[in-house]
Amino acid sequence: MASIVGAITTSHVPAIGRAIEKGLQDDPYWKPFFDGFPPVRRWLADVRPDVMVLVSNDHGLNFFLDKMPTFAIGAAPDYPNADEGWGIARLPPLPGDPALSWHLIESLVADEFDLTTCQEMFLDHASMLPMALCWPDMRWPVRVIPVSVNTVQAPLPSAARCYRLGQAIARAVQAWPGDERVVVMGTGGLSHQLDGERAGFINKDFDLRFMDSMRTDPRWATAFGTVDLVRLAGTQGVELLNWMVARGALPDAVRQVHANYHIPISNTAAGLMVLEPERSQVPA
């Protein structure tokens, strides 16, 4: 059977693309952020994933306020980039895995998750920048299954619902008869607010408690409603729902391989974690 070898959670601030394009990785403003990623790359080289389930949120590229699915999943042979003009000029499309995508779709629907299935899908900075941070040469060694979570328009899915989606993804992967090694990545956040009276809001205490819970108490954030999460993390900080999907795909007991936290990056608290199952049954 296929296996989930671990999860990566990271921020996806659009300005990261501009920093990459301009070669600002060693600039004092950016260096603490970019310095967090070499351990991630080393871990990926060690675990050798075949597939990435990439959980993010759409920024008006595929879905807008008139049509906003709670959960959407790609089933395309590839996923072109359609950057909003912030950064990297050319990014090759991400290769898909239609067979495994359809297996996940059928399994998740059987698990009573109502999905929008996308046989064509463009990916914006929320997906492409984390991939470029993991593989700076932009030669993608993994096939990708994108999962989009509504973090934009009420009603949002609850943190508990997103955690259960991750658990359902794990069950689907484990039921796949192949031997693929799968990494789940959740992108977005952490605390930030881009508009309104609290524009520029960052809640470091909450961010660090949330990151600690990802390791020690994965259901901690499920006790908060979406209004509570907006209050604690900001209107855009609810992108942590994508982290909850990734965490739900792992067992309760995990080992923290790496973590980094840096503020601010473009008015955003940037978090990064790599987690893997504590008692991994992943084949060598």
Secondary structure (DSSP) of 180-191: -EEEEEEE--SS
Segments in the chain below pLDDT 50: 280-284
Which amino acid belongs to residue 127? S
* Secondary structure letter of residue 32 according to DSSP: H
168, 250 contact by CB (below 8 A): no
Cα separation of the two ends of the chain: 14
What is the reported pLDDT for 283? 46
Contact yes or no for 51/143 (Cβ under 8 A):
yes
* Domain 3-277 = CATH 3.40.830.10: yes
- pTM across the whole model: 0.94
The pLDDT score that the predictor gives to residue 57 is 93
CA angle 32, 130, 138 (to 5 degrees): 105
pLDDT for the residue numbered 264? 92
Q: What is the pLDDT of residues 6-27, one digit of tens each?
A: 999 999 988 999 999 999 999 9
Catalytic residue chosen out of the listed positions 12, 192, 258, 262: 192
pLDDT of amino acid 149 = 97
Q: What is the distance between the alpha carbons of residues 248 and 202, in angstroms, rounded to a whole number?
A: 25
12 is known as an active-site residue? no
267, 30 contact by CB (below 8 A)? no
The domain spans of the chain are 3-277
pLDDT (tens digit, 9 = 90+) per residue, 167-185? 999 999 999 999 999 999 9
Confirm whether 262 is a catalytic residue.
Answer: no
